[in-house]
Amino acid sequence: MNGTVITADLLVIGFGKGGKTLAADMGRRGRTVVLVEETVLMYGGTCINTGCVPTKSMVYHGEHRPQGAAGASAYAGAVAATEQLTAGLRAANLAGLVQIPAVTVLTGRARFVNADSVEVRIGDDELITVTAGDIVIGTGSVPLIPDIPGLSDCPVAVTSAELLHRASRPDRLAILGGGYIGLEFASMYAAYGTSVTVLEQRPAVLAHEDPDVVAAARGVLADRGVTLVTGAETTGIQTVPRPGLPSIARVDYLVEGQTTTVDADVVLVALGRTPNTTHLGLDRAGVEVTDTGAVVVDEHRRTSQPHIYAVGDVNGGPQFTYVSLDDYRIVLDQLAGAASPRAASQRQAVPNCLFLSPPLARVGLTECQARTAGYDIRVAASPVVNLATVARARIVGDTVGMMKVVVDAATDNILGAALLCHDAHEVINIVALAMRHGISAHALRDAMYTHPSMSECFNQLLGLLE
């Protein structure tokens, strides 16, 4: 097919949440669509294959490990179950697109020729040119790999995606980075009996949270056996061979001027992610990028070329699947000519969640942020174990953590919340919905909830505002 040219109404580069949903929607509307994904292993995008779904599957299996079950065998079973899950989702995502006659899926690496055309290299010798009236870039992000001496040559240094596919559980895991990915993997692997050490260069983890929330989260990790070292600058990694056994890594780090080492079977590099734009040839399309490689977009996700859009992680926004899905809605309104098009500036009360065990979910302002912003506030905060009416936590045997809600004293509107508790990833959506629609703290306090549930925490928790 060398020399083949395909002309389409819409070209989508990347099979992530925003791109695949837009491709399916426009295809069902009768527009000709070409979707390009670099590898069959990423059909469906990062969330399904190397992000949200496999990690939460591993968290779930770790939390439900049968009492007395060996951690290593439970881990191997969890990896197998997770691989089966993601393979099924990849197949379902591909099937959902190829059944739409107007949609063509190409598997290969895309690179812009100019502002209207992209070359797609399939294998070693097949090249297809796709020309489209509208183009959407949704290539996501990739792990950031720092220039630490010895890291690039270390055979047991891996990214989160690579670690998820390891069938054997590491006995000792060193994690470089105490951000969301690092802490989630720390909690996850500790559940399978791995000895985990997290090295965070900043003076504190979860720096945007209030001190009481940070203390509670650190307590959860400590109770799991995680060693968390802050103010730790990783200075080098040595690969230590062992005759007849796999090599290990010796990680050197500096804390307050003193050099310390930790040995690990595996080193996880979790120092953030960067937009995946290096190989796209965006300069040939005249698409502007930031110093970090993020595609510059306006509130309608348009790039410097008005017919080219960028959705999801690649545009440098919050790296959440549901943000990519909202980007899809914004671009759809543009392509469909909506009378009142959606814009990113309209987003309010976007929640997020760190999947510790239990999860830490948050939305809006912290107490410190609200006070700095000049609000007169009231705060309701309590350890979960002190909320006697929240029977659900006791039923499932998970009473650790805390709940905290910050309220504007003048309006009774909720300014923010942090929930470190069982089912926090679900309950936080109630708070976010209330914030978006102006439902007061008193209304949430006096609402009727199913029983026993975690959401009925608001009956007692918000009563502490009085």
Residues assigned a catalytic role: 451
Q: What is the 3-state secondary structure (H, E, C) of the chain?
A: CCCEEEEEEEEEECCCHHHHHHHHHHHHCCCCEEEEECCHHHCCCHHHHCCHHHHHHHHHHHHCCCCCCCHHHHHHHHHHHHHHHHHHHHHHHHHHHHCCCCEEEEECEEEECCCCEEEEEECCCEEEEEEEEEEEECCCEEECCCCCCCCCCCCCEECHHHHHCCCCCCCEEEEECCCHHHHHHHHHHHCCCCEEEEEECCCCCCCCCCHHHHHHHHHHHHHCCCEEEECCEEEEEEEEEECCEEEEEEEEEEECCEEEEEEECEEEECCCEEECCCCCCHHHHCCCECCCCCECCCCCCECCCCCEEECHHHHCCCCCHHHHHHHHHHHHHHHHCCCCCCCHHHCCCCCEEECCCCCEEEEECCHHHHHHCCCCEEEEEEEHHHCCCCHHHHHCCCCCCEEEEEEECCCCCEEEEEEECCCHHHHHHHHHHHHHCCCCHHHHHCCCCCCCCCCCHHHHHHHHHC
Bridge partner residues of 233 (DSSP): 254
